[in-house]
Amino acid sequence: MAHPLNHDSEKTESRRDFLKTGTTVAATAATVSALATPKLSLAKSAHVAGSDTVKIGLVGCGGRGAGAAIQAMNTTSGNVELVAVGDVFADRMESTLEQAKTEHGEKVRVNEDTSYIGLDAYKSVMDSDADLVILATPPGFRPMHFEAAVEAGKHVFMEKPVAVDAPGIRRVLENGKKATEKNLLVQVGLQRRHERAYRETIEQLQDGIIGDLLYSRVYWNSNGVWERPRKPGDTELTYQMRNWYYFNWLCGDHIVEQHIHNLDVINWLMDDYPKTAQGMGGRLLRNGPDHGQIFDHHFVEYTYANGHKMFSQCRHMPQTSKNVSEHVVGTKGSADISSGTIYSPDGKEIFKCVEGPGQRLGHQQEHHDLFANLAQGVLSNEAEYGAKSTMTAIFGRLATYSGIELDWDSAINSNVTLAENLAELESLESEAPLKSDENGKYPVARPGVGAKEIVDWQPKKSSARKKKRKKKESNDSKKAKEL
């Protein structure tokens, strides 16, 4: 149980009415589609403009949670204060609050009564007087936390990825629609969409500067991330949550947790999502008990409805070449999207986004944009593309884990879940959703083996040619009997 619970805070009437429920939005806003961006009238937007304070709550005090809270308070669009925090681990919370206070001093208004520890700490943050919540726990918890935030009437900034399996994606999509119905702003931490270099380059490409887009290449090749040894006295759940990156029910594998950024860029460029995926991957170097169950390399070929191919690589191997970038080839040239550069067929530079101060600070710019929108009464909602780009990454993982060519509709409608009933985890003494074998090793996907357990999949029906042959054989048999 989180401690303390249900702290009472004073409410500010007119501002709280808008920030918590959006009830001052013009009546027509309720009729817009789930992903539209309704805007308040000028008179009503005054309630969130100027020197008014936006109160934020933080759920998840890891590195990204600390960074997001600090970047939110950095914003130049009004005053932002941190009023509540929640995490499973007290040391992570203390570290985050120390960082935040060093950066922002009095803007951090968290005390013992508004800092909550426990697996249900998120509920107390939702009960606080925060106007907006930042969701930055391991992504396996994101669908549950997002649903709670929408039910509580909170505006939301949630880190990517937004889920680790298809049931989680569907839950996020459903609550994204509810957020629009309740006039709540939703932003997802896919910061490339907020960087000028990316925005200008994508616009040029969509306007046809290199003609039809034939194929793209995307990479997140790196040396890997931290490893945290098991400590004496750790429960299994404590160990897995401290090492969340290596367990799929928490992380989704690095193709989901990191490579999503690159995949999202091509989805944005194509204004679509892949229809099929097939690929390969495995564990070559990181294959010990401390590496949980994720692969250390994936390669996926995605195909969009118009035939465009996206070739995707992600790798976590020490002392290997690093490459985090996105590229596209068209009928009239090519582009390094990540560098904001476009080339003619002969390699001549025909467009280059001129970078200014802060051009690549997407993590910060997304918060400037969020609070500017909130101040202006623009209720942007990024839940759909955040969920579907996350699904693109999950789609790739399902393809590499199963070794089977998959289609989008089957994947997104799959009922295979990585962890059930997370809300029933009461404490770090609870049984972990994943168990190791007698040697301390965790179950790892084997392509071609157990495909049904990886994704709802059935062998393809016989091809038309096989059916025709079988029909002919049947007819020949009948004729033979007649003779």
Q: Which tens digits make up the pLDDT trace of 292-331?
A: 999 999 999 999 999 999 999 999 999 999 999 999 999 9
The predicted model gives 68-92 an average pLDDT of 95
pLDDT of 474 reads: 62
Give the model's pLDDT for residue 447. Answer: 93
- What Å distances lie between residue 200 and 19, 35, 36, 206, 340, CA to CA? 32, 22, 22, 10, 8
Question: What would the mean pLDDT of 55-80 be, rounded to a whole number?
Answer: 95
pLDDT at residue number 142: 98
Of the pLDDT bands very low, low, confident and very high (cuts 50, 70, 90), residue 354 is confident
CATH superfamily name and code, 13-193+367-382: NAD(P)-binding Rossmann-like Domain (3.40.50.720)
Q: Residue 26: which pLDDT band, with cuts at 50, 70 and 90?
A: very low
- pLDDT tops 70 at residue 122: yes
pLDDT for 341 equals: 96
CB atoms within 10 A of CB 375: 19
Instruction: Round to whole Å and give the CA distance between 274 and 368.
Output: 31
Segment 164-189 shows an average pLDDT of 98
pLDDT at 361: 84
CB of 153 closer than 8 Å to CB of 352? no
Over 80: is that where the pLDDT of 1 sits?
no
Query: How large a percentage of the chain has pLDDT more than 90?
Result: 77
Q: Pick the more confident residue, 52 or 151.
A: 151
More confident residue, 52 or 475: 52
Between residues 48 and 457, which one has the greater pLDDT?
457
Kind and range of the H or E element at 43?
helix 42-45
Q: Who wins on pLDDT, 324 or 51?
A: 324
C-alpha to C-alpha distance for 92 and 136, rounded to whole angstroms? 12
Q: What is the pLDDT of residue 6?
A: 35
Give ranges for CATH 3.40.50.720 in the chain: 13-193+367-382
The DSSP element (H or E) to which 134 belongs, if any, is strand 132-135
* Residues written for the chain: 483
Could you tell me the pLDDT band of residue 456, with boundaries at 50, 70 and 90?
confident
pLDDT at 112 over 90: yes
- pLDDT at residue 7 above 70? no
Q: Is the pLDDT of residue 462 over 50?
A: no
Give the residue range(s) of CATH 3.30.360.10 domains in the chain: 196-359+389-424
pLDDT at 157 over 60: yes
Kindly write down the DSSP assignment for every residue of 182-195, as one continuous string.
TT--EEES-GGGG-
Backbone angles phi, psi at 148, to 5 degrees: -65, -40
Using DSSP's 3-state secondary structure scheme, residue 16 falls into helix
Q: What is the pTM of this model?
A: 0.86
What lies within 8 Å, CB to CB, of 171 at 6+ separation is: 143, 144, 146, 147, 163
pLDDT beyond 90 at 347:
yes
Determine the pLDDT at residue 449: 81
Q: Of the given ranges (230-234, 379-383, 469-473), which has the lowest mean pLDDT?
A: 469-473
Confidence of residue 104 (pLDDT cuts 50, 70, 90): very high
pLDDT for 469: 52
Q: Which of 35-44, 301-310, 369-378 has the lowest mean pLDDT?
A: 35-44
Q: What is the mean pLDDT of residues 469-475?
A: 58
CATH superfamily of 196-359+389-424: Dihydrodipicolinate Reductase; domain 2 (3.30.360.10)
Q: What integer pLDDT is reported at residue 87 of this predicted model?
A: 98
Angstrom distance (rounded) from CA 251 to CA 140? 6
What's the pLDDT tens digit per position in 403-419? 999 999 999 999 999 99
Residues β-bridged to residue 406: 277
Residue 399: pLDDT band (50, 70, 90) is very high
